[in-house]
Amino acid sequence: MTSELRDFLTSRRAALSPEDVGLPAATTPRRVKGLRRAEVAILAGVSVDYYVKLEQGRARNVSEQVVDAVARALRLDDVESRYFASLLQAEPVRRQVVRARPAVQSMVRAMNVPAVIHGPHLEILGINHAGKALLDDFEAMPPEERNLARWMFLNPRARIVYRDWAEIAADIVATLRAVPSGDALSRLVGDLSTRSDEFARMWADYRLSEHRHGVKRFFHEAVGELKLNWQTLRLPDAQGQTVVVYTADTGSPSEEKLRLLSSWTAQSAGGRLDDHPRAVTPPA
Task: Domains for the chain: give ranges and CATH numbers.
Answer: 2-87 (1.10.260.40), 102-266 (3.30.450.180)
Condensed to tens digits (0 to 9), the pLDDT of residues 3-26 reads 888 888 998 898 888 888 887 776
pTM of the model: 0.79
Q: What is the pLDDT of residues 195-253, one digit of tens each?
A: 999 999 999 989 998 878 999 999 999 899 999 999 999 998 878 899 999 999 999 99
> Across all residues in the chain, what is the average pLDDT?
87
- pLDDT (tens digit, 9 = 90+) per residue, 61-109? 888 899 999 999 999 988 888 888 888 875 555 556 788 999 999 999 9
Please answer whether residues 188 and 195 qualify as being in contact, where contact means their C-beta atoms are separated by less than 8 angstroms: no
% pLDDT > 70, the chain: 89
**Res 160 pLDDT > 80:** yes
